[in-house]
Amino acid sequence: MIIQQWFVWALVVSAIGMTGTNGVMAQSLFDMADDITTVRIESHGQNFSPRQSITPGAAPRHTSDFDLTVVWQPGDLKAREEWVLRTHYPVSTELSYSMTYHQAAGVTEGQDSLAPGSDARPMGGRRIGANLKTLWLTNPLILAAHAESISAPESIGVEGSRERVTFVAFDTNWSMVFDSSNGLPLELATTEADQHQGEIEHRVTFQDWREVSGVPFPYRVEQFLEDKLLRREVRSAIMVNPEISAGLLELPDSLQDTDQSLRQQGWSMSHFSQARAGLGIPQDYFETHSISFHEVGQDLYQVRGSEGDNNLLVVGPDGLAIVDAPWFDQRSEEVLGALQERWPELPLKYVILMHHHIDHSGGFRAYVRAGATLVTSQGSTAFFANALAQAGHEPTATIAVGQSAQLDGIGRRIEVYDIANSHADATLIAYVPDEKLAFATDLFSPGRPRQTGPWVSELLESVRFHGIDVEQFVGGHGVGAGYPDSE
Ligand SMILES: [Zn+2]
Domains of the chain and CATH, by start: 2-278 (2.50.20.10), 292-482 (3.60.15.10)
Q: Please state, in angstroms and as integers, the Cα–Cα distance from residue 148 to each residue in 133, 145, 184, 406, following that order.
A: 16, 9, 20, 58
Distance of CA 357 from the midpoint of ligand 1 (Å): 5
Distance of CA 190 from the midpoint of ligand 1 (Å): 27
3-state DSSP call for residue 301? strand
pLDDT of residue 26 exceeding 80, the answer is: no
Calpha distance 434→472 (Å, rounded): 12
**Residue 17: pLDDT band by 50, 70, 90 thresholds?**
very low
Distance of CA 442 from the midpoint of ligand 1 (Å): 5
Distance of CA 355 from the midpoint of ligand 1 (Å): 7
Distance of CA 352 from the midpoint of ligand 1 (Å): 15
Q: Which residues contact 373 (CB under 8 A, 6 or more apart)?
A: 349, 350, 351, 396, 397, 398, 399, 409
Distance of CA 154 from the midpoint of ligand 1 (Å): 43
Distance of CA 30 from the midpoint of ligand 1 (Å): 43
> What amino acid is encoded at 342 in this protein?
R
Distance of CA 94 from the midpoint of ligand 1 (Å): 21
- 310-352 pLDDT, tens digit per residue, is 999 999 999 999 999 999 999 999 999 999 999 999 999 999 9
Calpha distance 280→134 (Å, rounded): 17
Residue 357: what are its φ and ψ, rounded to 5°?
-60, 145
Average of per-residue pLDDT across 460-470: 97
Distance of CA 176 from the midpoint of ligand 1 (Å): 35
Measured N-to-C along each axis, helices 125-137 and 260-268 cross at an angle, to the nearest 10 degrees, of 40
* Cis peptide, bond prior to residue 454, ω within 30 of zero: no
- 170-218 pLDDT, tens digit per residue, is 999 999 999 998 989 999 999 999 999 999 999 999 999 999 998 999 9
Q: Quote the percentage of the chain above a pLDDT of 90.
A: 82
pLDDT of residue 21: 52
pLDDT of residue 365 exceeding 90, the answer is: yes
> What amino acid is encoded at 56 in this protein?
P
Instruction: Record the pTM.
Output: 0.90
pLDDT of residue 234 exceeding 90, the answer is: yes
Report the run of H or E that residue 194 belongs to, with start and end.
Answer: strand 185-194
Between 9 and 435, where is the model more confident? 435
Average of per-residue pLDDT across 63-82: 97
pLDDT of residue 102: 97
Distance of CA 40 from the midpoint of ligand 1 (Å): 36
Measured N-to-C along each axis, helices 260-268 and 270-278 cross at an angle, to the nearest 10 degrees, of 90
Distance of CA 477 from the midpoint of ligand 1 (Å): 10
- 86-101 pLDDT, tens digit per residue, is 999 988 999 999 999 9
Distance of CA 63 from the midpoint of ligand 1 (Å): 13
- Report CA 22 to chain centroid distance, whole Å: 36
**Residue 16: pLDDT band by 50, 70, 90 thresholds?**
very low
Between 23 and 415, where is the model more confident? 415
Average of per-residue pLDDT across 244-269: 94
Measured N-to-C along each axis, helices 2-15 and 22-33 cross at an angle, to the nearest 10 degrees, of 120
Distance of CA 196 from the midpoint of ligand 1 (Å): 15
Distance of CA 476 from the midpoint of ligand 1 (Å): 9
**Residue 158: pLDDT band by 50, 70, 90 thresholds?**
confident
Distance of CA 361 from the midpoint of ligand 1 (Å): 9
Helices (H), 403-484: 455-466
Beta bridge partners of 321: 314, 350
Distance of CA 363 from the midpoint of ligand 1 (Å): 14
CB of 273 closer than 8 Å to CB of 299: no
Distance of CA 187 from the midpoint of ligand 1 (Å): 32
Calpha distance 382→359 (Å, rounded): 19
**Residue 451: pLDDT band by 50, 70, 90 thresholds?**
confident
Q: How many CB atoms are located within 10 Å of the residue 9 CB?
A: 16
Distance of CA 246 from the midpoint of ligand 1 (Å): 44
CB of 237 closer than 8 Å to CB of 102: no
Distance of CA 21 from the midpoint of ligand 1 (Å): 50
